[in-house]
Structure 1
Amino acid sequence: MIESFLRRMIKVGNLTVHLPGGRTLKAGDGSGAPVVLRLSAKTLRRIALHPGLAFGEAYMNGDLVIEQGGLWDLLDMVGRSGGRAPAKGRPPLLKRLKQTLKRRLQQANGRLASRRNVAHHYDLSNDLYRRFLDADMQYSCAYFRRPDMTLEEAQAAKKSHIADKLRIEPGQSVLDIGSGWGGMAMTLAKDYGAKVTGVTLSTEQLNLARDRVAAAGLAERITFELRDYRDLASSFDRIVSVGMLEHVGAPNLRAYFETVRRLLDTDGVALIHTIGRMEGPRATNAFTQKYIFPGGYVPAMSEVTQAIEEAGLWITDVEVLRLHYAETLKHWRQRFMADPEIPRLYPETFRRMWEFYLAGSEMGFRYAGHMVMQFQLTRRIDVLPNTRDYMLEKGA
């Protein structure tokens, strides 16, 4: 079983696995730099039976020891071998029913559950995120207009690209759903003259965002609230949401877009930036669900477009960003691993968990069909120009 599993997972590359008792297993075609692992037969059996959870746990807990090469070298070998390739077609009916039931149980995401899930990840420590994000603390996919851009340049390009799609004019009111550490709101207020209301469920993010706004002298233009977006009542000229839809959960997608429609002015424009998957609806990876983003879900484009249609919104533009997040995650992973203080500040198990999360996420965008989707939405058909030229003029 173990040898069969390795042959299925590793078709290219040069992998050696040392088992107790002196037994050695090899997989791949022998090409490239060698990767050498040492682990128990029991651990390898667990990985073969439950790869979505056991692989990450084995690395996190030190049961999977990489003696030569690194974690990314191993995951890249799996990816290049097609071990995480997106599935084709629809799953069998019974599997679809099980996945639907699992999504409903894991992703109910009422107000209390949403607050708890956000705190699990985003309230860890602002200092942790400072160590691997860009200076503006953008924790979402950057936009690499050129492949040689720095992370800071690509994150600034992302904000500019979104602002151009929103077609903001000075004095307009903007709602930022999931406002994070405030970078998007500050850009829209300072560079475009908007008046921004940001809502978040993270107390750590809220406190730092308020401090940053005060230090920048933007307090008259920006307000941040610890509040669920579903509890808002005012209408806004523009709505932006970057990297928040992934926390909504499949059962709540329609309610999310119905709320966007209710809060959006009749002549308003919304821009929703979210991770998506190129295959159809699937279950969340078990390791991610348990350790990283409880309640989270990466939706298929078909799920998002159906929810938008049911909410009665116009989809006026869709853009798919391919490989931009893979490059973003590469920058984050390299900064995380290079920070000399992280080994002193955080336990080894935590560091290994985060390394696996960052490296595994990068592999998802390089090999496993993950992408980023940007949906431009309106309530009326004639709110925006008929061509896309206005989105591209500044960034050309």
Structure 2
Amino acid sequence: MLFPAILKSTIRTGSLRLIDGAGGTHVYGDGSPPHCTVRLRARHLDYTLALNPELSIGEAYMNGLLTVEDGTLYDLLEIAARNLQNFEKMPWFSLLSRMARQLKQYNPIDRARRNIAHHYDLSDQLYDLFLDSDRQYSCAYFINASDGLETAQENKKRHIAAKLLLDRPGLDILDIGSGWGGLGLYLAEEAGADVTGVTLSVEQHKKSEARAAAAGLADRARFQLRDYRQVAGAYDRIVSVGMFEHVGKKNYDEFFAKLNDLLKEDGVALLHAIGFSDAPGPINPFIRKYIFPGADLASLSEVSSAAERSGLIVTDIEILRLHYAETLRHWRRRFMANRQRVAALYDERFCRMWEFYLVLCEIGFRFRSMMVFQVQLAKRSDIVPLTRDYMVDWEREHMPTTRRYTRAAE
């Protein structure tokens, strides 16, 4: 049996007990934690899991053909992550990896719109079950270990705003990938900015418009259902949070060229996105196929090179290492606490699919090379102050107060 044989040569640390499709038991690892027992409920899995484990293990779990009988799914994926370097030495795994690295995502506007709808136009109730009240669906910023999700997401908005150099009211700000409008509304109210947000999600656009009207900010925060490539005009500030992952490697030059075109000569842009801290590589195939079709992750070298080719200057970079792991831990716990309600919206297969997605991503940030980068960009090197003191000063001056748009559902 191929899969049990592969595990024997690759699982060196942790403790994994496998019950194969025929009922046979295999034990792997060095006896150290984490401990996990997994049962395969179909004989063909003894072979098919070996062919493309990054995809097929998630599919088997989602379809109820791989079950965790002792320990948790988190334990299983942590064991896999801790031993991944052993898998990567296998010739067939190395071949799959090299083939995947050649994939350059083609992302025309119509396809981009369909890809976004696949994930962001799910039931509106779903996101209330695991996100914070402002529906920030990106990496939070944990200043203190005791910060809850609500506080950390408020920290994130303030941290991003500080990097935009909001030195006067009335700035024209473009928010590319504006989500449910939380960041745009924050910038409109906290900085007196005039914000234009663009999204390809019908549901997000609808909610953003409603929130702006309810908060009395519709004159300063407008949200449009359009692709960033269709935007015209010139902006003092441009911000993009959690959208670059959907651009596709083939389109990085196009993205930064558009930023350059839209940014005023004395403008500042801030890009917040997930990436890899090591060499360029592909996104996990399970995530691409079932969760975020068309998505991809960049290494910092890919981002810097594309920005340089566009004529933009990188003026500041910050790497957020474990912040997204903590964010995903909060999301996962909230999701699992509301699992029955999610199943009522969809079904058990959907619950297992999303559980696998949330666990897999958390593991990626905690044990592998995934991270979040914030890159500040300008057209001239003298646009932002010479030191970062202005960021710290702005954050301290804008500690959170009660806001009129506290809930996305309003």
SS of match in other structure, 2:179: coil
Q: 4+ residue stretches of structure 1 with deviation over 6 A?
A: 84-87, 91-95
What whole-Å deviation, never above 9, does each CA across 1:131-174 have from its counterpart, x for those lacking one? Answer: 10000000000011112100010111011000000011211010
Give the deviation of 1:19 after TM superposition: 2.2
Give the deviation of 1:102 after TM superposition: 2.4
| Partner of residue 134 from structure 1, selected from 129, 132, 135 | 132
d(CA) in 1 for partners of 2:33, 2:176: 45
d(CA) in 2 for partners of 1:8, 1:176: 49
2:406 is matched with none
2:68 is matched with 66
SS of match in other structure, 2:298: coil
d(CA) in 1 for partners of 2:62, 2:191: 44
Letter of the 2:175 counterpart:
D
2:402 is matched with none
Query: Using a 3 Å threshold, how does the CA distance of structure 1 residues 213 and 55 change in structure 2: closer, same or farther?
Result: same
1:363 is matched with 363
d(CA) in 2 for partners of 1:337, 1:108: 35
- Do the aligned residues in 2 keep the contact of 1:84 with 1:368 (CA within 8 Å)? no
Select between 307-316 and 9-18 the one with higher mean Cα deviation. Answer: 9-18
SS of match in other structure, 1:361: helix
Structure 1: gaps (5+ residues): none
Query: Using a 3 Å threshold, how does the CA distance of structure 1 residues 337 and 237 change in structure 2: closer, same or farther?
Result: same
Give the deviation of 1:300 after TM superposition: 1.0
d(CA) in 2 for partners of 1:192, 1:255: 30
2:52 is matched with 50
d(CA) in 2 for partners of 1:393, 1:54: 49
| Partner of residue 156 from structure 1, selected from 144, 154, 157 | 154
1:178 is matched with 177
SS of match in other structure, 1:132: coil
1:232 is matched with 231
What is the aligned-residue RMSD (CA, Å)? 2.1
Letter of the 1:388 counterpart:
R
TM (norm. structure 1) is 0.93
TM (norm. structure 2) is 0.90
1:26 is matched with 27
Letter of the 1:230 counterpart:
R
Give the deviation of 1:73 after TM superposition: 1.7
1:258 is matched with 257
1:102 is matched with 103
Query: Using a 3 Å threshold, how does the CA distance of structure 1 residues 393 and 288 change in structure 2: closer, same or farther?
Result: same
Q: Percent identity?
A: 50
What whole-Å deviation, never above 9, does each CA across 1:330-379 have from its counterpart, x for those lacking one? Answer: 11011000014123222111111100011101111112200001110001
1:119 is matched with 117
SS of match in other structure, 2:150: helix
Is residue 342 of structure 1 aligned with residue 342 of structure 2? yes
d(CA) in 2 for partners of 1:247, 1:85: 28
2:399 is matched with none
Give the deviation of 1:59 after TM superposition: 0.2
Query: Using a 3 Å threshold, how does the CA distance of structure 1 residues 241 and 329 change in structure 2: closer, same or farther?
Result: same
Give the deviation of 1:45 after TM superposition: 2.2
Give the deviation of 1:41 after TM superposition: 4.1
d(CA) in 2 for partners of 1:54, 1:331: 26
- Show the 5 A alignment for 1:2-41: 2-32=3-33, 34-39=35-40, 40-41=42-43
d(CA) in 2 for partners of 1:32, 1:282: 29
Query: Using a 3 Å threshold, how does the CA distance of structure 1 residues 85 and 49 change in structure 2: closer, same or farther?
Result: closer
Query: Using a 3 Å threshold, how does the CA distance of structure 1 residues 352 and 83 change in structure 2: closer, same or farther?
Result: farther
- Do the aligned residues in 2 keep the contact of 1:84 with 1:367 (CA within 8 Å)? no
What whole-Å deviation, never above 9, does each CA across 1:206-237 have from its counterpart, x for those lacking one? Answer: 00111111111111111100011111111000
- Show the 5 A alignment for 1:280-359: 280-339=279-338, 340-359=340-359
d(CA) in 2 for partners of 1:300, 1:76: 23
- Do the aligned residues in 1 keep the contact of 2:11 with 2:86 (CA within 8 Å)? no
1:372 is matched with 372
| Partner of residue 77 from structure 1, selected from 58, 76, 79 | 79
2:269 is matched with 270
Structure 2: gaps (5+ residues): 397-410
Letter of the 1:51 counterpart:
P
d(CA) in 2 for partners of 1:377, 1:86: 36
